[in-house]
Amino acid sequence: MEFNIEFSKENYPNTPKQIEELARIALNTRQDIIKSLFLAKSGHSGGPLGISDVMSVLFFAGIMKYDSQNPNWKERDRFVLSCGHYAPVLYTVLARAGYFPTEELLTLRKLGSRLQGHPGLDSELPGIETSSGSLGQGISIAVGMAMSDKLLEKNDRTVFCLTGDGEIQEGSCWEAAMSAGNFKLDNLCWIVDNNNCQIDGRVEDVMSIYPLGDKFQTFKFEVIEIDGHNFNDIIAAFNQFKQNQKNRSGKPTVIICKTKMGRGVSFMEDNYQWHGNPPNEKEAIQALSELI
C-alpha cells in the first residue's frame, strides 16, 4: 500500500446527517489522527481514536453551535478538552470544521507549530477555548464557564467538556461535579470517555472509579450511559441533553461513553499500551490499511 501522507482539504458541514456519512467522517478523522501522529513521532493514539465517533457527532451533526469563520462568536457553544492529551482528535475536527487549514495537521508537535501536544491558549489556534493537559483542571474551567453563562450572563449557551476515565481519579473533578450539581448547571454536558484504560493499566485495576453512573447521580447529575461507537446512541444522548437543557431541568448531564481505546486499528484496540505512543511507519501503514 502507498502511504499517502497528505491531508485532503475536505471540510464537513455542521448539519444533521445519515449514520453512513457520520461513520465516514469518523473514519477520516481516525486516518488524520494516524497520519499526524506518525509524522509527529510522539503523542497519544489510543484515546483520540476511541473518541472519534463521539467527536464526529458533536462537531458535525448539528449538535454544537459554532462558526469556524468567527471563532469568538458571542453565542457559540464551547468545547473544553479536559483530557488535553486527546489533542490530535480535537485538532482534526477543528481543521475539518474550517477553523484552520487541514495542511496544518502535518505540523503536530513540531517546533513553532500551533498544534502542540496539548492545547494551549498561547498558541492562538482558533477553536481552542482553554489550555489543558494537567488532568482534572479542564472540567473545573468548564464548570466555571457554565456557571458564568447560566448565573451571570443568563444566556442559552452550552458548555461541552470531555474527560478521560482515568482522569476522573483526580479529586478536583469531583469538586467540579459537586459545584455543577449544586448550582444546577443544566447547560453543562460532561462527556466521559469510559475506555477503562489509562496510562499504565485498566482503570479498575489502578484505582476503580465504579460504579460511575451512581456516583454522578449522587452529585445530582442526569446520567446517560451509551455505547460510544453506536451513532444512534450518541445522537440520542446529545438530543436528550439538549431537551433537558431546554426544559430547564436544573441538572447537569453526564454522558458516559463506553468506548474502546484505539478503536478501528486491530493491534491498538482495547490495549492500554497504546495510550501514549504514536505508530511507526510499518504500524501507520497497517493502521491506514484497516481504516478504509
Ligand X SMILES: Cc1ncc(C[n+]2csc(CCOP(=O)(O)OP(=O)(O)O)c2C)c(N)n1
Chain residues that interact with ligand X, rule: CB under 6 A:
44, 46-47, 83, 85, 133-136, 164-167, 193, 195, 197-199, 261, 275
| Shortest spacing between CB 52 and ligand X, in angstroms | 13
| Shortest spacing between CB 84 and ligand X, in angstroms | 7
| Shortest spacing between CB 89 and ligand X, in angstroms | 11
Which amino acid does the sequence have at 179? S
Nearer to ligand X, 56 or 245 (CB): 56
| Shortest spacing between CB 9 and ligand X, in angstroms | 29
Beta strands across the sheet bearing 78-81: 78-81, 159-164, 188-194, 253-258, 222-227
Q: How far apart are the C-alpha atoms of 261 and 191, rounded to whole Å? A: 15
The grid coordinates of residue 203 equal 482503570
Asked if 127 and 173 count as a contact pair (C-beta separation under 8 A), the reply is: no
Nearer to ligand X, 261 or 288 (CB): 261
Nearer to ligand X, 24 or 202 (CB): 202
Strands 159-164 and 78-81: parallel
| Shortest spacing between CB 2 and ligand X, in angstroms | 30
Residue given cell 446529545 in the structure block: 238
What distances in angstroms separate CA 243 from CA 100, 172, 183, 216, 249, one per listed residue?
32, 28, 19, 19, 9
List the helix and strand counts (H, then E) for the chain: 10, 7
Nearer to ligand X, 12 or 272 (CB): 272
Nearer to ligand X, 61 or 287 (CB): 287
Asked if 285 and 31 count as a contact pair (C-beta separation under 8 A), the reply is: no
Nearer to ligand X, 28 or 198 (CB): 198
3-state secondary structure of 116: coil
| Shortest spacing between CB 47 and ligand X, in angstroms | 3
**Which residue sits closest to ligand X, CB atoms considered?**
164
What distances in angstroms separate CA 150 from CA 105, 210, 221, one per listed residue?
35, 30, 16
Nearer to ligand X, 68 or 198 (CB): 198
| Shortest spacing between CB 26 and ligand X, in angstroms | 17
